[in-house]
Structure 1
Amino acid sequence: MATVVSEISSPELTTPMGTISVLPLLEPRPENRRLISDSTVLRISTALQSSLFVRDVIRSFANEAKRIVRRISLRYRNRSDGLSLQEGRLQLHRCTYDLNLLGKSLGEITFTRAQPFSTDEQSLLEIMLCALIYPLRNSLLYERALRTALKDPLTGINNRANMDQHLDQQVLLSTRYGTPLSLLMIDVDLFKGVNDSYGHIVGDAVLIAIAEGIVKCTRNSDVVFRYGGEEFVVVLSNTKLDGAMHLAERIRASIAEMEVKAADVDLRVTISVGVAELQASESSVDILQRADRMLYRAKSRGRNLVITDDGC
């Protein structure tokens, strides 16, 4: 099995075959001019800049690579970004490259084929990797920025803007396919008193602990959001009211048993939960408003309660 482990950095790509400059892509080294034309390099570069999403960039790169080196497949992995993308079935012979730019890892790419790679084919793949580096870096940065924009900076869970988009989409899918959709509106009881008595550092620690506690109780299909202040929302796709009630009660009980430690203070807090299931012809605003009314009812009845439309 042929395996080549290389490292791409700026401005050079170091391989067992020598050094290839990353920057002058349109002017390959003299010994490689015969391998690839300027028009081909330009076509590859253009294709790789057609999208800012990593999956699209890798797919375009794979398509171009297959045009130049026949019968290959590839796999791209980036552990820090949780990415593992594959184009084609992995085969026996492999060339693996660690991708780095300015000392920062961009992941690892592996080319595979049933037959061994020739020296010229490895050179071609390395020239193509030079063209991939900057589009890949840009797409990784773009997707990271998107994730950051949709996350609450304090708790690390999804934020209000993300919730608005997600809930609208789930309501649309529920209406189109006739699947159930439920929602939990959660509020930390007497949270203002926590801030007033212990300060915002302790208050922040409480919110972080509450968010973690909610996430631990939910399923992979459930999505948790910080709605604002001390309020949280959980969107439950394919879940009827009784299932939502069961989950809400589990979350409530778990939080009530939890002890928050921060700044030499040990606290126990409780939450109130309003639960609603999407009804026919309702919008995302409608189900939110009903869950909020149920939350208000839970607060008015003494807190540390789960309340639904039927008054449970």
Structure 2
Amino acid sequence: MLSSTSTVSVLGKRNTSNAITNKQLTVATEDVLLLVQKLQSSLELEVIFTHLLDHIRSLVPGCRLLYSLPESNINLPIGGPVLKHQCFYQLKAEQEQLGEIRISNSSKLTDYELSMVELCLSHLLYPLRNALLYREAIRNARQDALTGVGNRFAFSRNFEREQRLAQRYHQDLSLLVIDIDYFKRINDKYGHLAGDEVLKSVAECLKSVMRQTDMIFRYGGEEFTAILTKTDREGALVIAERIRKEVEKLTVTISGNDIKATVSVGIGSLKEAKDSQALFNQADDNLYLAKRGGRNQVR
């Protein structure tokens, strides 16, 4: 019985000739050619799996799909929650693990239905691998390689979008510009490798104290930015002070040297700015005031 604990590898390793007649296979192959075209028409995972499920539902109405790839933090349900009767497929192309797909239905799938599902999945592998490579390339293009937070390109894209959304829906939006104080001194005294470790430690500190809805980026050099959605200036001040205090507690030990760091933070609020450039300038100007005021402070 195909149940919630059933596991079937890709193509099932079953004798599919017993489940599909030659005539059925001819018809199925013609339909699958159309599916292949759809699977190759996009590099977006959700689009690919939606096409796949639409095709499988023409054979097994009402079934659902769940794709997961834990190492990439992907858990993508398509069509609704998982149902009682399930079959699992480990996806692999040329020894490369591509994750797991789970097809579920309210009733047990017949051998013919399983064979049709497996026929569809056999054409999924390379479009899926291409989509995963594309996803990784996009992620790398938007991520700072050293610190793991978003890069300047990602900041620009997200900042423009969040500013437009905030204005359209009359919501608060704040921006933090965060700069590590006397960072050049750290590089000069301890070396650039030590400076890199300080940058990574500060980035981790930022991620640990900020909310899940906040977006953090390395803007360049020793400067970071943080987009705070639905947050007014008072709320941004609370978060900025939390950042300042936590960074002040940091100690980075390199080659027996204990290195301390502090940050200065400038705040910008959309209520006081007409557009994204004015908002950034406001935060940047406040950062300059924090620097002039003695550093290790929020303005």
**Shared fold by TM > 0.5?**
yes
Contact 1:35 1:120 in 2 (8 A): no
The Cα shift of 1:113 comes to 1.7
- 3-state secondary structure, aligned to 1:303: coil
Gap change, CA 1:30 and 1:91, over 3 Å in 2: closer
Shift of 1:16: 3.7
How do 1:128-167 and structure 2 match up within 5 A? 128-167=120-159
For residues 99 and 148 of structure 2, the distance between their equivalents in structure 1, rounded to whole angstroms, comes to: 24
User: Counterpart of 2:39?
Assistant: 48
Q: Secondary structure at the match of 2:253?
A: strand
1:310 alignment partner in structure 2: none
Match of 2:108 in 1: 116
1:35 alignment partner, one of 25, 47, 54: 25
Residues of 1 paired with 2:80 and 2:237: CA distance? 44
Give SS of 1:151's match: coil
CA distance in 2 between counterparts of 1:157 and 1:115 reads 45
Shift of 1:40: 0.7
Aligned to 1:67: 58
Q: 2:14 maps to which residue? A: 17
- Counterpart of 1:285 (choices 277, 287, 293) is 277
- The answer to whether the Cα contact below 8 Å between 2:272 and 2:279 also exists between their aligned partners in 1 is no
The offset of 1:166, in angstroms, is 0.5
Whether contact under 8 Å (1:36, 1:124) holds in the other structure is: no
State the shift of 1:89 in Å: 4.0
Please tell me whether residue 2 in structure 1 is matched to residue 7 in structure 2: no
Q: Partners of 2:26 and 2:86 in 1: how far apart?
A: 22
1:248 to 235, 240, 244: 240
- CA distance in 1 between partners of 2:178 and 2:262 (Å): 10
Q: Equivalences for 1:89-100 in 2 at 5 Å?
A: 89-100=81-92
Verify the 8 A CA contact 1:187 1:271 in the aligned structure 2.
yes
Please state how far the C-alpha of 1:47 moved relative to its aligned partner: 1.4
Could you state the TM-score of these two structures normalised by the residue count of structure 1? 0.89
Q: Secondary structure at the match of 1:255?
A: helix
CA distance in 2, matches of 1:208, 1:281: 31
Residue aligned with 1:96, SS = strand
Give the deviation of 1:69 after TM superposition: 2.5
> Which runs of structure 2 are paired with 1:194-233 in the superposition (5 Å)?
194-233=186-225
Contact 1:5 1:96 in 2 (8 A): yes
C-alpha contact (below 8 Å) 1:175/1:280 kept by paired residues: no
Task: Measure, in 1, the Cα distance between the counterparts of 2:277 and 2:154.
Answer: 15
Cα separation, 1, equivalents of 2:8 and 2:270:
54
Distance change (3 Å), C-alpha of 1:284 and 1:258: same
Which amino acid letter does the alignment assign opposite residue 236 of structure 2?
Answer: A
Shift of 1:228: 0.3
Partner of 1:177 in structure 2? 169
Following superposition, the deviation at residue 161 of structure 1 comes to 0.3
CA contact (8 A) 1:252 1:270 kept: yes
Q: 1:81 to 1:71 in 2, by over 3 A?
A: same
Matched pairs, number: 294
Give the unaligned 5+ runs of structure 1: 21-28, 308-312
Q: What is the root-mean-square deviation in Å for CA atoms of aligned residues? A: 1.9
Question: Which deviates more from structure 2 when the two are superposed, residues 72-81 or residues 151-160?
Answer: 72-81
Partner of 2:230: 238
SS of residue paired to 2:68? strand
CA distance in structure 2 between the partners assigned to 1:234 and 1:115 by the alignment = 49
Distance 2:88 2:221 in 1: 48
Is 1:7–1:100's contact at 8 Å kept on the other side of the alignment?
no
Letter in 1 for 2:119: I
Task: Work out the CA distance in 2 between the residues paired with 1:120 and 1:36.
Answer: 14
Q: Which amino acid aligns with 1:34?
A: Q
Between the aligned partners of 1:146 and 1:36, the Cα distance in structure 2 is 39
